[in-house]
Amino acid sequence: DDDEDEDNDDIVMLERKIRTSSMPEQAHKVCVKEIKRLKKMPQSMPEYALTRNYLELMVELPWNKSTTDRLDIRAARILLDNDHYAMEKLKKRVLEYLAVRQLKNNLKGPILCFVGPPGVGKTSVGRSVAKTLGREFHRIALGGVCDQSDIRGHRRTYVGSMPGRIINGLKTVGVNNPVFLLDEVDKLGKSLQGDPAAALLEVLDPEQNHNFTDHYLNVAFDLSQVLFIATANTTATIPPALLDRMEIIQVPGYTQEEKIEIAHRHLIPKQLEQHGLTPQQIQIPQVTTLDIITRYTREAGVRSLDRKFGAICRAVAVKVAEGQHKEAKLDHSDVAEGEGCREHILEDAKPESISDTPDLALPPEMPILIDFHALKDILGPPMYEMEVSERLSQPGVAIGLAWTPLGGEIMFVEASRMDGEGQLTLTGQLGDVMKESAHLAISWLRSNAKKYHLTNASGSFDLLDNTDIHLHFPAGAVTKDGPSAGVTIVTCLASLFSGRLVRSDVAMTGEITLRGLVLPVGGIKDKVLAAHRAGLKRVIIPQRNEKDLEEIPGNVRQDLSFVTASCLDEVLNAAFDGGFTVNTRPGLLNSKL
């Protein structure tokens, strides 16, 4: 019978492959046993196909097939710098790994976890790590996976069982030391089928994963040479046991300067290429890029910035295509008159300047320069206005600094007082911590009212006597929380009760205590950059945050003067012109600056 001969040949081939394959002792035993069973089995049995699939998988797996790493550190550094701008911590970690690989050959793969806002390039860094090392790259998307057998495989007793994602990935890449990117670890689900995050614990533990047992294979496979990189947007939703296994590397959002660099090095060339344009046809100066970043996007990464460049390229592509179409119709003798054409298209702030105007029969002058008017025509009016520090024209207003995942922002705090029975009203969608800061600030000012000569409207030192205070944090729809507005609230209320104006060019951040100490806060780099963008000149930060100033770019540090404060006295002295002194009789104003 021909069919049977063919199948017998196949089985003989399988047997030969098993004999010559380099699998470990235990796996080899299992395979030999299975092939014996396969020979005795009639082919009509459903188990025949299953066993055969199993054996074929066992033969295909890369038991000890690996690629050699490229360990040239200098080349790696150049490659990473070309592919990614900024991201210093990340690149440093990759180079350290390379260096250790060079000194010690059988290093266990580290398990890194990149945490940061969307669009900052975590996944693409994973890809270029693989490229730098010269390894195979395999991405496993874990978003929404809610079944542990997705990772561990199904037992072979089930119909339609198959190996898990990890073993499947190894079979796909065909080597046992690839870079595995576990994308979106923070978005793993839980369901009745078990918890995949718990199944990942075994995969990601360097002490255990040298014999990872997939339910389908049922023999141990060595994962210790795989370099696992996980990505996440937040660590809050990752189970603590899993978080403990990984080395967390924070990937912060980009500053404005970094975004401009990234745009001109990577985004604009990429978009031009995708839209078939050349730099001879379109020019986007840095000023325009800055405009797009500040007024058309509000994000930590560069994704929507990329999309805006795409929109500009499409608008220009329409112009270019129309121009070529008209050029074909026109006689070339007419073209000389069209010199002033480009100015006409872009300088006119008329709404129809980038859309098709019937009277422009001539092709636009190349290159098309994208200036502010062109931006307005293509992308519409600006979506975001820069928060610029306005002059503080009345007592009871101070400028604070806030941190958001999209970077820092400046924030105004307003206070007013009216007659009443001593109530404190807080508005602006505040969290509990922030409300407590406000109560702290009031208590501290009331207990120090005599010292600073602060009085209520009727001249008594009891500030809340027959007086209501209302504190408001503008942008009423934005939820705000955290302790770092403490010093701002104190300054704002001190200004309200003393009737003096806070300096217009000062922003501040810091947590307060009841004794009047200033405690350190997080996000200093982003907050300082926000103050700089808004054009402020002086930033008051807690004394213990002085160490964080090293992360701030030099050009920003030169433009600002920093005041480090360890107690509220120092904050108030720095926030008011001529200091906020204990005695406010006019003759004795000593300016402690």
Which residues are tagged catalytic? 484, 527
Q: Which two tokens stand for residue 555?
A: 């050009």
What's the CA gap between 397 and 420, in Å, rounded? 21
What's the CA gap between 203 and 220, in Å, rounded? 12
Helix 372-379 / helix 286-295 crossing angle, nearest 10 deg: 40
Phi and psi angles of residue 581, each rounded to the nearest 5 degrees, phi first:
-90, 165
- Strand segments, DSSP code E, in 346-419 are 368-369, 397-404, 407-419
Residue of 312, 282, 277, 316 whose CA lies nearest to 297: 312
How many CB atoms neighbour CB 108 within 10 A? 14
Find the largest Cα–Cα distance for the chain: 118
The backbone region for 184, taken as left when phi is positive above 0, alpha when psi lies in -120 to 50, beta otherwise, is left
Element (H, E) at 179: strand 179-183
Sole residue written with tokens 């459903």 = 46
Residue 419 pairs in a beta bridge with 467
Q: Which two tokens stand for residue 559?
A: 């433009």
Residues 6 or more apart whose CB falls under 8 angstroms from that of 306 comprise: 267, 270, 271
Residue of 110, 173, 169, 103 whose CA lies nearest to 142: 169
State the first-to-last Cα distance of the chain, in angstroms, to the nearest integer. 102
Which DSSP state fits 280?
T
Radius of gyration (Cα) for the chain, nearest Å? Answer: 33
Are residues 488 and 426 in contact, defined by beta-carbon separation less than 8 angstroms? no
The rounded Cα 81 to chain-centroid distance in angstroms is 19
Residue of 382, 408, 402, 413 whose CA lies nearest to 533: 408
What's the CA gap between 440 and 398, in Å, rounded? 17
- Give the CA distances from residue 441 to residues 328, 431, 520, in Å, rounded to whole numbers and listed in that order: 74, 16, 16
What's the CA gap between 315 and 304, in Å, rounded? 17
- Strand segments, DSSP code E, in 259-377 are 282-283, 368-369
Count, residues in the chain: 593
What's the CA gap between 22 and 24, in Å, rounded? 7
Are residues 108 and 97 in contact, defined by beta-carbon separation less than 8 angstroms? no
What's the CA gap between 133 and 354, in Å, rounded? 47
